[in-house]
């Protein structure tokens, strides 16, 4: 029998029922082949976050009645490829805990497997919105019912029932975001202008992880721009992040990037964190990096390095930096860093 060296090996050889989820830039399903390619050094991680491949693993071993959930942050090198030392140590501990015959793992081993995360240097604790979205996605993908918080959220957001918005739970908003269909999106777009800011912000924390329709994007844009007019940058950034899953969000970003007043560090961070896919544009990316360079409060090189770890953006970012004239905002930033 071949030895187990990787997490992918472990899950395949143990016969585990496993679902993987990205937990870095966005909560969304991750193919096992993506983890396999990373561990085989065949490909960089597609959605790195702060130099890590952040994963949620929902799995069941043997005859376990309930699935276990691991949150793992695998360290990446400067090219977005796996730095394997800590992964190797974790796999070794896993095998020592279970015994090397992982095909016989059963219900009684569940607590031992779960205990591995308590002092695991790869473990991390996602933010509350990320945990709510993972629970919502996993429940949906496993064919399980949504949480009991969904029903009041649906009643409130559809306008069918007047409720105290403070009673709405984040988990219910997450379940709504994952399960909403086209009609629910249309209803939400009509309801959005009247939502209390606190509800809107919490809802945006969930919408930023899903694809949304154009009419909902337009409603978010209108609400975000109205907030910007009164100096509410937090709500503007929440709407920008929430709109990032739309195909038309790039048009809004173009408008924002021409507005020197709007382009503060928080907005630029929101675009990079959730709207990175819209920076795959030959004109928008250089314009974004120039705005980033002009913003004195922004950590230019940290954000640029983070974007360059994304495989589809690596070459465009590096070329933009390399070709920037010395007297341009980008050039001046790069010169300042060498002093």
**Contact assessment for residue 224 and residue 255, using Cβ atoms and an 8 Å cutoff:** no
* 255's tokens: 């408008």
pLDDT for 324: 93
Nearest to 176, CA basis, from 160, 195, 157? 157
Q: 218: exposed, middle or buried (C-beta count within 10 Å: 0-12, 13-18, 19+)?
A: middle
Nearest to 212, CA basis, from 233, 235, 240, 236? 240
pLDDT for 319: 96
CA distance 334 to 15: 50
198-231 residue pLDDT tens = 999 999 999 999 999 999 999 999 999 999 999 9
The yes-or-no verdict on residue 112 having pLDDT over 70 is no
pLDDT for 266: 96
**Contact assessment for residue 298 and residue 268, using Cβ atoms and an 8 Å cutoff:** yes
The yes-or-no verdict on residue 107 having pLDDT over 80 is no
187-196 residue pLDDT tens = 999 999 999 9
226-264 residue pLDDT tens = 999 999 999 999 999 999 999 999 999 999 999 888 889
Mean pLDDT value across the chain: 91
Helix (H, G, I), strand (E, B) or coil at 303: helix
CA distance 217 to 277: 16
pLDDT for 147: 95
CB count in 10 Å sphere of residue 1: 7
Confidence bin at 293 (pLDDT 50/70/90):
very high
pLDDT for 108: 54
pTM of the model: 0.92
């Amino acid at each position: 029998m071949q030895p187990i060296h990787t997490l992918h090996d472990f899950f395949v050889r143990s016969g585990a029922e496993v679902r993987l989820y990205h937990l870095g830039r966005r909560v969304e399903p991750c193919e096992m082949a993506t983890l396999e390619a990373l561990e085989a050094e065949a490909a960089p991680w597609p959605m790195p976050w702060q130099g890590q491949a952040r994963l949620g693993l929902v799995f069941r071993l043997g005859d376990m009645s309930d699935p276990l959930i691991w949150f793992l942050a695998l360290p990446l090198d400067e090219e977005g490829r796996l730095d394997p030392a800590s992964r190797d140590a974790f796999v070794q501990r896993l095998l020592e805990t279970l015994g090397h015959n992982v095909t016989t793992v059963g219900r009684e081993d569940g607590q031992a497997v779960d205990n591995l995360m308590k002092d695991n240097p790869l473990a991390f604790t996602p933010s509350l919105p990320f945990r709510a979205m993972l629970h919502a996605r996993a429940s949906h993908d496993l064919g399980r019912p949504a949480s009991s918080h969904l029903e009041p959220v649906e009643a409130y957001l559809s306008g069918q029932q007047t409720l105290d918005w403070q009673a709405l739970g984040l988990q219910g908003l997450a379940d709504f975001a994952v399960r909403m269909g086209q009609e629910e999106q249309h209803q939400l777009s009509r309801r959005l202008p009247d939502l209390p800011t606190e509800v809107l912000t919490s809802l945006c924390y969930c919408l930023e992880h899903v694809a949304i329709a154009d009419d909902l994007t337009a409603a978010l844009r209108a609400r975000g721009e109205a907030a910007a007019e009164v100096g509410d940058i937090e709500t503007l950034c929440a709407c920008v992040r929430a709109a990032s899953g739309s195909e038309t969000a790039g048009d809004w970003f173009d408008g924002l990037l021409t507005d020197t007043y709007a382009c503060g560090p928080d907005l630029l961070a929101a675009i990079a964190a959730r709207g990175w896919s819209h920076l795959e544009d030959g004109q928008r990316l250089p314009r974004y990096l120039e705005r980033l360079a002009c913003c004195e409060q922004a950590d230019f090189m940290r954000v640029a390095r983070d974007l360059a770890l994304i495989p589809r953006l690596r070459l465009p970012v590096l070329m933009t930096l390399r070709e920037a004239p010395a007297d341009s905002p980008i050039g001046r930033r790069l010169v300042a860093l060498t002093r």
